[in-house]
Amino acid sequence: MTDQQWDVIIVGAGSAGLPAAIFAAQRGGRVLQIEADSKIGGTLYLSSGQMSAAGTRIQRKLGIEDSPQAHYDDAQRITHNTIDPILGRLAIDHAAATLDWLIDIGFELAPEAPQCGVTHEPFTVRRYYWGNNLALSILEVLAPVHEKLVAEGKIELRLNTRMNRLIEDDGAVIGVEATDADGATQAFHAANVALTCGGYAANPELWARTNPEQPLCSHTNAFSRGDGLLAAEQLGAQVDGADKYLSTFAGWRDDPEDPMSGQFFSLAPNARRPWEIYVDRSGKRFMREDSQSIDYLENKLLQQPDTKMFIVCDEGIWRNAPPICLLPEAEYRAKFGNHYNFLKADTMDDLAKQMGVDANNLKRSVAAFNTAVDNGKDPEFGREFLLRKIETAPFYAMGAHGITVVSPAGINADGQLRVLRQDGTPIPNLYAAGEVLGFTRLSGNAFVGGMSLTPALTFGRLLGQELIPW
């Protein structure tokens, strides 16, 4: 392969990179796709696969009235008007075509979809979709189309090949330098480069730079190392969005020393009602645990030092409440007393000591909660789910962190997905789609259902179409 042969180099073969390569190759473009992992798919192996789109065929079939404008207004309402207006509109205006296309190539909706909301703040309209097998349902339909194009030689796919940097000439991008599994470094040249290499929630050093106040407790793709952000930043790209960070509610580091060992509790209001109390690092309650707003719960936790709280209960709750954890029940129960984060004690004093909180504060919090259960009224926080007191030893506590599944900051792009310099001018020949743009650009300072995955798929599709017009 000689230099300058590629029309486009697509860096990454995940949610954004797969549609980008498919659409560019179907239009006859000479496409090189490099992928650091040994397989395609990226975060589709982990993602819950929930998408949102307005004006879809399935909505029309079900008689659901909706429009991109209504979707946009709803998303801005949920995020307190913090979604990037240009890219937000672009993503939402083209989301229905993305979902319709997925269905055309075989994607099947779960029978209960579409819904207004499941894990995040609900939309006002049923525009929230998913398949039967999380995001694997999406990969299962993208992969055969992609594989066929690779087999036909229309996409040259190089697995185990990691981009190190972008190559520029006189301010314009002319290719990428990448290293393969044997350690060989090679330059690849193209008319355009599309960065679709994901976020950086698996890069603790970069995380510490963008979000020094919030220790990383991550559950994400190990290849989300921020390579696209760092490479574009070296060429002067604008990077922003970290200030809108919101963590998910909530989980723990399985290994206290490993920021990538994040695991989930099942605390979302749609999943489970809280029998326990939540206390801060001084041992005091600090929120209404049974709020139906996940945004409220997430923000209350975010305001805690190190985004950490404790979940506290007694033997009665521990035995009778539904599982609080996504691990198999026996595995989770066996952790108490045997894992740094799953604490068990015969007295409140001992529990407080293990938690490292003030024992008097903890005992006062529990006593006030027990009075609230007796009276059926929680004057301090207005909690209404007051089923059972915390009174029977042994007592239990679990540390709970805000979990990071997506990285907030990213490179900025204009309405044609051209990467922008700090002065707002585009870097010639450089494009971006997906989480490399920063999660908060499309989802603002809240979690809007589907507003990471759907824009990634949509922008990938648009890039493939725009870079190689018919």
Ligand X SMILES: Cc1cc2nc3c(=O)[nH]c(=O)nc-3n(C[C@H](O)[C@H](O)[C@H](O)COP(=O)(O)OP(=O)(O)OC[C@H]3O[C@@H](n4cnc5c(N)ncnc54)[C@H](O)[C@@H]3O)c2cc1C
Determine which residue in the list 405, 419, 446, 467 makes contact with ligand X, applying CB under 6 A. 405
Question: Near ligand X by CB under 6 A, which window of 58-66, 72-80, 204-212, 430-438?
Answer: 430-438
Radius of gyration, alpha carbons of the chain: 24
Q: Is 171 left (phi over 0), alpha (psi -120 to 50) or beta?
A: left
Residues between 296 and 315 with contacts to ligand X, criterion CB under 6 A: none
**E-only strand ranges, 12-107:** 31-34, 51-52
Residue span binding ligand X (CB under 6 A) among the ranges 252-260, 305-313, 372-380, 434-442 = 434-442
Asked if residue 450 binds ligand X (CB under 6 A), the reply is yes
Does residue 163 bind ligand X (CB under 6 A)? yes
Tokens of 173: 């991008």
- Considering beta carbons, is residue 51 or 279 the nearer one to ligand X? 51
The helix/strand/coil state of 261 is coil
20: part of which helix (H) or strand (E)? helix 17-26
Minimum CB separation from ligand X for residue 160, in Å?
9
- Tell me which of 71, 146, 189, 219 binds ligand X, using CB under 6 A: 219
In the window 1-30, what residues touch ligand X (CB under 6 A)?
11-17
> Is residue 452 near ligand X by the rule CB under 6 A?
yes
Q: Which residue is nearest to ligand X (CB)?
A: 14
The CB-of-343 to ligand X minimum distance in angstroms stands at 26
Query: Per CB under 6 A, does 451 bind ligand X?
Result: yes
Minimum Å distance from CB 161 to ligand X? 6
Got the DSSP string for 423-467? TSPEEEEEEE-SGGG-HHHHHTTS--TTTTHHHHHHHHHHHHHHH
Helix (H), strand (E) at residue 232:
helix 227-234
**Residue 451 beta carbon to ligand X: minimum distance, rounded to whole angstroms:** 6
- Minimum Å gap between C-beta 274 and ligand X is 22
Asked if 419 is part of the footprint of ligand X (rule: CB under 6 A), the reply reads no
Stretch that binds ligand X, among 99-107, 214-222, 305-313, 375-383 (CB under 6 A): 214-222
**In this chain, which of 29, 55, 198, 402 binds ligand X, going by CB under 6 A?**
198
Q: Residue 455 CB, nearest distance to ligand X (Å)?
A: 8
Q: Which amino acid is at 435?
A: E
Q: Which residues in 227-246 contact ligand X (CB under 6 A)?
A: 227
Number of residues that bind ligand X (CB under 6 A): 42
Supply the minimum distance, in Å, between the C-beta of residue 21 and ligand X.
11
Q: What is the maximum alpha-carbon separation in the chain?
A: 79
- Closest CB to ligand X among 34 and 96? 34
Nearer of residues 12 and 283 to ligand X, judged by Cβ: 12
**DSSP 8-state symbol, 397:** E
Q: Taking the CA of residue 319 as centre, how many other CA atoms within 13 Å lie in the half-sphere pointing to its CB?
A: 8
Of 22, 25, 31, 34, the one binding ligand X by CB under 6 A: 34
| Interface with ligand X (CB under 6 A), residue from 19, 29, 42, 283 | 42
Q: Give the torsion through C-alpha atoms of 333, 350, 311, 402, to 10 deg.
A: -100
Tell me the helices (H) and strands (E) count for the chain, helix number first: 15, 19
Q: Which CB atom, from 178 or from 311, has the smaller least distance to ligand X? A: 178
Burial annotation 120-137 (CB, 10 A radius, 16+ → b, else e): bbbbebbbbbbbeebbbb
Residue 419 falls in which region: left (phi positive, over 0), alpha (psi -120 to 50) or beta:
beta
C-alpha closest to that of 41 among 121, 141, 185 = 141
Pick the binder of ligand X from 91, 166, 343, 453 (CB under 6 A): 453
Which region, judged by CB under 6 A, interacts with ligand X, from 40-48, 186-194, 292-300, 344-352?
Answer: 40-48
> CA distances (Å), 166 to each of 72, 92, 136, 172, 321, in order?
34, 30, 31, 10, 53
The residues that touch ligand X, with contacts defined as CB under 6 A, are 11-17, 34-37, 42-44, 46-50, 162-163, 196-198, 219-221, 223-225, 227, 405-406, 434-436, 450-454, 456
